[in-house]
Structure 1
Amino acid sequence: MKKVIAALLLTGIAFMQVQAQQQTPFGKSDPKAKAILDAASAKFKTYKSIKAGFSLKITTPDNKVMDTKTGTVYLKGKKYKVLLDGQEIYCDGSTTWSYNKDTKEVQISAYTPDNATLTPDRLFSNFYDKEFLYRLSGSSTHRGKPVDVIEMTPLDKSKPFFKVVVQIDKAAKNIVSTEIFEQSGNRYTYEITAFTPNAAMADNSFTFDAKAHPGVEVVDLR
């Protein structure tokens, strides 16, 4: 479950960096949605780094809340760090570390993203502009602020989710909420609770320090 939560969290963060494209081989996306996504992407790319607090709620098909998580994510180029309850994930752009606090085990693996793992840095290569159709479904409010609501559907129907709904602050041009609809019927609602652009981050903060975790069992899968 923790791996699923972490992967979906990164999916939500990844949509903050989306670079929209109007035409795909499967049809044409909404030009109004494209303009909004382009503005959000342009704004995001001006940041050298980001620190964001988040909440993640998992809802079952019958609208029962199955789990909730809170944490913090740090982004700097291709590097990222995710701090969740009971779990820490580090990536320096070439290696990933996944630390489970309960078992005191850290798994190390080479960073080789695939189509099933949607990590933040993938958007720098304009991955999503070839993978989604999108449309502006309307306007709403989020914590009292006006937002645009955009619905996105993957062109690859084999993906574990069939729809993503993002809310973008009309004034700030930042994504404030992402709702991921799984094929299983579960929904993952990811919400930004705090947002700090250009926060100071040392490069070594994106690597796991075993010395700072006495007794940790290291499982090297590389």
Structure 2
Amino acid sequence: MELYCDGTTKWILNVTAKELIIVPNDPSATDIVENPLGFLTSLNKGYEYPSRVTSISTNGKQLWIIDLTPVNKRLAYKSISVGVEKNSYIPRMIKYIAKDGSSYIINITGFERVNTLRPKDYFKFPSFRLTGLQVNDMR
């Protein structure tokens, strides 16, 4: 899955199904799938987390795993785990466990720090990739 968002519109690409869903962006949403930035800014008030984190080693990197449980039990998921590299604090993994028990793991293979602002078009789905996709525009 690929996600693009320019602050106004969100493009969700299911690569396997060759489907692109276009929806308006809701900046007030705090669900990690709906709005990753909103999720990160809601961590101090919307989640319970243990006083200690666990530590694992994966792909030669030491990670801290922070298990988060939403305070609002009506959300679509029952827990989220975030793996952060110990030495750099770079996020490397997110595990999302839905209420139905299914789990989704996002492995972050690249993280680039940039010191300059990107143009807004950088965050839009590239139109040249539309060929062969089923597009559902729900704006």
Please, what TM-score do these two structures have when normalized by structure 1?
A: 0.48
The offset of 1:134, in angstroms, is: 0.8
> Which structure 2 residue ranges, 5 or more long, are not aligned?
none
Q: Evaluate the alpha carbon distance shift between residue 214 and residue 109 of structure 1 in structure 2; reply closer, same or farther with a 3 A threshold.
A: same
The offset of 1:145, in angstroms, is: 2.6
SS of equivalent to 2:89 = coil
Number of residue pairs the alignment of both structures matches: 135
Q: Distance in 2 between matches of 1:142 and 1:149?
A: 11
The residue number in structure 1 matching 2:8 is 94
The residue number in structure 1 matching 2:25 is 111
The residue number in structure 1 matching 2:75 is 159
Q: Distance in 2 between matches of 1:101 and 1:142?
A: 26
SS of equivalent to 1:197 = coil
> Which structure 1 residue ranges, 5 or more long, are not aligned?
1-5, 7-81, 83-88
Structure ranking higher in helix proportion: 1
The offset of 1:142, in angstroms, is: 2.2
What does residue range 120-199 of structure 1 map to in structure 2 within 5 Å? 120-123=36-39, 126-135=41-50, 136-198=52-114
Larger CA Rg, structure 1 vs 2: 1
Q: Distance in 1 between matches of 2:96 and 2:109?
A: 17
Identical positions, percent: 25
Residues 90 and 111 of structure 2 are in contact (CA less than 8 Å); yes or no, is this contact kept in structure 1? no
SS of equivalent to 1:193 = coil
Residues 104 and 215 of structure 1 are in contact (CA less than 8 Å); yes or no, is this contact kept in structure 2? yes
| Greater RCO (Cα-Cα under 8 Å, separation 6 or more) | 1
The offset of 1:98, in angstroms, is: 4.1
Q: Evaluate the alpha carbon distance shift between residue 97 and residue 181 of structure 1 in structure 2; reply closer, same or farther with a 3 A threshold.
A: closer
What does residue range 60-79 of structure 1 map to in structure 2 within 5 Å? none
Q: Are 1:205 and 2:119 counterparts?
A: no
The offset of 1:93, in angstroms, is: 0.6
The offset of 1:129, in angstroms, is: 1.8
